[in-house]
């Protein structure tokens, strides 16, 4: 481990211990580009979620400034942006992150050229998703829905699908075990893998998002079922929304089919990469089953969350099964069977 690697690990630990532990399972060659992309995306997310900046309509400008930091190496610009943002950030973890922005940018410029291009591309796309979010959900006095299913598809690509694409390109560049992958086909599977996870998150957070003025369910879908966004605020309306939710759950399951194909196409000898793919599939499907079987998904007081004990058991079992496509496919099928 180089001093630079050690410094990056320290930043990751400070910002997100859970992600730091997750990234340790990745093959060594993938850790730097994935870790730096994560940190830059988190920094952008801190800007996009900062209500003080959003009210001043300056969040978009700061996101653009963050993008420019990856275009040319200028430590002064990184420090200036960090110092500009810090006073308006109240979350302690986000403050630590923004304070480390100059160091993160420095690590970015130490990457190989290919990795820099991949990181810049994925962070740019993720920021486009954040900008779409800011642009559409800029009302505070009523709930706004995405226009149609196409807008939802665009959104889940921008904020998650692109990560699967990025992951695939980095893996092909660095891991001989997957150098045979067809980049176009595997990237498509990776995109749908990311979409599966993001759509699951959207369905999980419907009640909470509605109280923030956001509805990621498409407006044309609401109209089809004679629904409107105001009805999301009444938890007694959950039966009215069930058919629309079921449609989106079905779509998420289709995307999880691609996620499974992504995993199965990863050589059984690439244990670390397979584990890093299997875990989010299993947690995502378990979450989807909780959504599908929840008594009332419109009640913001009822959290939809996979229990920690289940996660620990899953981690332990996965290390024994990861080398067998038959066993992991059977496990995935079992989780799907719990979704009506």
Q: Are 88 and 53 in contact (CB under 8 A)?
A: yes
Per-residue confidence (pLDDT) for residue 141, from 0 to 100:
80
Do 85 and 153 share a domain, yes or no?
Answer: no
pLDDT value at position 4?
A: 55
For the beta carbon of residue 287, count every other beta carbon within 10 angstroms: 20
How many residues in the chain? 340
What distance in Å separates the CA atoms of residue 169 and residue 181, rounded to the nearest whole number? 10
Q: What is the pTM of this model?
A: 0.93
The pLDDT of 72-83, averaged and rounded, is 88
State the pLDDT at residue 276.
94
φ, ψ dihedrals at 298, nearest 5°: -95, 0
Q: Among 95, 128, 161, which residue terminates a domain?
A: 128
What is the distance of C-alpha 203 from the center of its chain? Answer: 14
The pair of structure tokens assigned to 143 is: 């709930």
Per the listing, tokens 């929840």 go with 294
Whether 44 and 186 map to the same domain: the answer is no
Tell me the per-residue pLDDT of 284-332, one tens digit each, with 9 for 90 and over: 999 999 999 877 899 998 888 899 999 999 999 999 999 999 999 999 9
pLDDT score recorded for residue 2: 45
Bridge partners, residue 215, by sequence = 145
180 & 123 share domain: no
* DSSP state for residue 179 in the 8-state scheme: T
- Regarding whether 44 and 168 lie in a shared domain, the answer is no
Task: Say if residue 118 is in the same domain as residue 242.
Answer: no
Percent of the chain predicted with pLDDT > 90: 77
Residues 224 and 151 in one domain: yes
- The C-alpha atoms of residue 135 and residue 131 are separated, in whole angstroms, by 6
Same domain? For 68 and 95 the reply is yes
pLDDT at residue 185, rounded to an integer: 98
Other beta carbons less than 10 A from residue 90's beta carbon: 10
For residue 190 the two structure tokens come to 């990776």
Q: Which residues contact 6 (CB under 8 A, 6 or more apart)?
A: none
Alpha-carbon distance of 298 to 235, in angstroms, equals 5
Domain match, 14 and 85 both: yes
Can you give the CATH number for the domain in which 280 is found?
Answer: 1.10.600.10
Query: Residue 321: its pLDDT value, please?
Result: 96
Positive/negative CA dihedral, 212, 214, 216, 222: positive
- pLDDT tens per residue, range 126-180: 999 999 999 999 877 899 999 999 999 999 999 999 999 999 999 999 999 999 9
Residue 4 to residues 1, 7, 13, 26, 109, Cα–Cα distance (Å):
8, 5, 14, 18, 12
Q: How do residues 5-58 score in pLDDT, each as one tens digit? A: 667 777 777 776 657 767 888 999 999 999 999 999 999 999 888 765 555 568
Residues 119 and 143 in one domain: no
* 3 pLDDT above the threshold of 70: no
Give CA–CA dist 281/331, Å, rounded. Answer: 10
Tell me: do 117 and 5 sit in the same domain. yes
The whole-number average pLDDT for the span 329-337 is: 98
If residue 336 lies in a helix (H) or strand (E), which one and from where to where? helix 325-337
DSSP 3-state of 217:
strand
Domain boundary among 102, 128, 154: 128
- Which positions ≥6 away from 39 have C-beta within 8 Å? 11, 12, 15, 97, 100, 104
Same domain (yes/no): 120, 141: no
Are 144 and 112 within one domain? no
DSSP 77-131: HHHHHHHHHGGG---HHHHHHHHTHHHHHHHHHTS-HHHHHHHHHHHHHHHHHHH
Residue among 160, 159, 161, 180 nearest 171 (CA): 180
| Domain count for the chain | 2
- State the Cα–Cα distance between residues 221 and 89, nearest whole angstrom: 36
Which domain does 298 fall in, by range? 137-340
When comparing pLDDT for 200 and 9, which is higher?
200
């Amino acid at each position: 481990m180089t001093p630079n690697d050690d410094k990056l690990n320290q930043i990751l630990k400070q910002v997100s211990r859970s992600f730091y532990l997750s990234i340790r399972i990745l093959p060594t060659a993938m850790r730097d580009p994935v870790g730096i992309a994560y940190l830059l995306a988190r920094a952008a997310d801190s800007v996009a979620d900062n209500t003080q900046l959003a009210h001043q309509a300056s969040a978009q400008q700061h996101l653009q400034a963050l993008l420019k930091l990856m275009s040319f190496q200028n430590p002064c610009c990184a420090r200036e942006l960090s110092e500009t943002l810090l006073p308006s950030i109240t979350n302690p973890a986000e403050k630590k992150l923004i304070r480390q922005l100059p160091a993160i940018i420095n690590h970015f410029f130490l990457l190989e050229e290919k990795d820099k291009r991949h990181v810049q591309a994925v962070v740019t796309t993720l920021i486009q998703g954040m900008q779409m979010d800011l642009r559409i959900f800029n009302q505070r006095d009523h709930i706004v829905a995405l226009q149609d299913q196409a807008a939802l598809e665009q959104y889940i690509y921008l904020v998650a699908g692109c990560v699967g694409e990025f992951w695939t390109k980095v893996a092909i560049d660095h891991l001989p075990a997957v150098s045979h992958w067809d980049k176009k086909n595997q990237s498509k599977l990776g995109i749908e893998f990311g979409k599966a996870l993001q759509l699951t998150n959207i369905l999980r957070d419907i009640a909470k998002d509605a109280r923030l003025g956001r509805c990621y369910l498409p407006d044309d879908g609401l109209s089809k079922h004679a629904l409107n966004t105001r009805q999301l605020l009444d938890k007694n309306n959950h039966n009215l929304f069930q058919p629309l939710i079921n449609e989106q759950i079905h779509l998420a399951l289709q995307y999880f089919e691609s996620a499974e194909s992504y995993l199965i196409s990863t050589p059984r000898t690439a244990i670390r990469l397979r584990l890093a793919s299997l875990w989010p599939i299993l947690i995502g499907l378990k979450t989807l089953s909780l959504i599908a079987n929840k008594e009332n998904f419109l009640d913001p007081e009822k959290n939809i969350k996979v229990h920690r004990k289940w996660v620990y058991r899953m981690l332990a079992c996965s290390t024994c099964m990861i080398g067998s496509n038959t066993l992991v496919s059977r496990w995935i099928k079992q989780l799907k069977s719990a979704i009506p």
